[in-house]
Amino acid sequence: MQSRTPATRPGRPRSAAAATAILAATREALVDLGWSKLTLGDVAARAGVAKTTIYRRWPGKNELVVDAVAELFDELELPDRGSLAADIEGVVLQFATILDRPEARSGLMAVVAESTRDEALRERIRESIVERQKRLVLQGRTRAQTRGELPPESDSKDAARTADLVFDVVAGAVVHRTLVSGRPADEEWVRGFTQVLLLGLRGAAALPADP
């Protein structure tokens, strides 16, 4: 029975509604202002809360935004469309749809930028966004193996490496397409991208492993 923090501390307990309101207000402010013009004072006002109430729960703007954005990606799920290619296309399109929302666009990139100088922040992002969504890659592979589209992995270390590569390639390509190149990751693009990715993975799997 874990209970590092005592079941009930003395004094007035923290309002549960406040945390919800703050995260929602943060996303709203991201939409209206973007990351760099978002201020905690403004978030507090939108949430109907005092600034101190925010600082009592989050160390600063970066951590707050990470939490606010992370929730956005929890709605991702791997659809069952009958084939690995179709499944991938489906989830990539979902991802692109989320990246179209302004609170995700500016929030995500900004905290990644900040994390280049803040190891703790990078770890927070990895935990609550990256690792959390890597489940989709694993689910997809398992389902494809069940269907017989992919062979069961022989080397678990190699399997992990491949999953990481897939995640970096998928997430990286979609982000670059939408945010840097500024062109839509629409059905046509996703089809082409998925084709190259799958052919590449199958081709690589057919070759002998790295010597």
Partner DNA sequence: TGTTAATCGAGACGGTACGTCCTGTCTTTAT
Partner DNA sequence: ATAAAGACAGGACGTACCGTCTCGATTAACA
Residues at the interface with DNA (CB under 7 A) = 8-15, 18, 37-42, 48-53, 55-57, 60-61
Handedness of CA 114, 116, 119, 124 (dihedral sign): positive
Q: Which does 163 bind (CB under 5 to 8 A by kind): DNA, a second copy, none?
A: none
Provide the b/e sequence for 164-191 (b: ≥16 CB within 10 Å): eebbeebbebbbebbeeeeeebeeebbe
List the Cα angle 50/111/104 in 5-degree steps.
Answer: 85
Smallest distance from a second copy to CB 84, Å: 14
Contact 76, 98 (CB under 8 A): yes
Smallest distance from DNA to CB 71, Å: 19
Of 79 and 200, nearer to a second copy (C-beta) is 200
Q: Which does 76 bind (CB under 5 to 8 A by kind): DNA, a second copy, none?
A: none
Of 54 and 96, nearer to DNA (C-beta) is 54
Of 21 and 115, nearer to a second copy (C-beta) is 115
Residues 6+ apart with CB under 8 A from 130: 167
Residues 6+ apart with CB under 8 A from 47: 18, 21, 22, 24, 25, 54
Q: Which does 42 bind (CB under 5 to 8 A by kind): a second copy, DNA, none?
A: DNA
Q: Which does 137 bind (CB under 5 to 8 A by kind): DNA, a second copy, none?
A: none
Smallest distance from DNA to CB 105, Å: 20
Q: Which two structure tokens, joined as six digits, stand for 114?
A: 């900040």
The CA distance from 19 to 53, in Å, is 9
Of 15 and 181, nearer to DNA (C-beta) is 15
Residues at the site binding a second copy, with contacts judged by CB under 8 A: 34-36, 102, 105-106, 108-110, 112-117, 122, 125-126, 130, 161, 164-165, 167-169, 171-177, 179-183, 188-189, 191-193, 195-204, 207, 210
The gap between the terminal CA atoms of the chain, to the nearest Å, is 48
Q: Which does 106 bind (CB under 5 to 8 A by kind): a second copy, DNA, none?
A: a second copy
What DSSP state is assigned to residue 58? -
Of 80 and 202, nearer to a second copy (C-beta) is 202
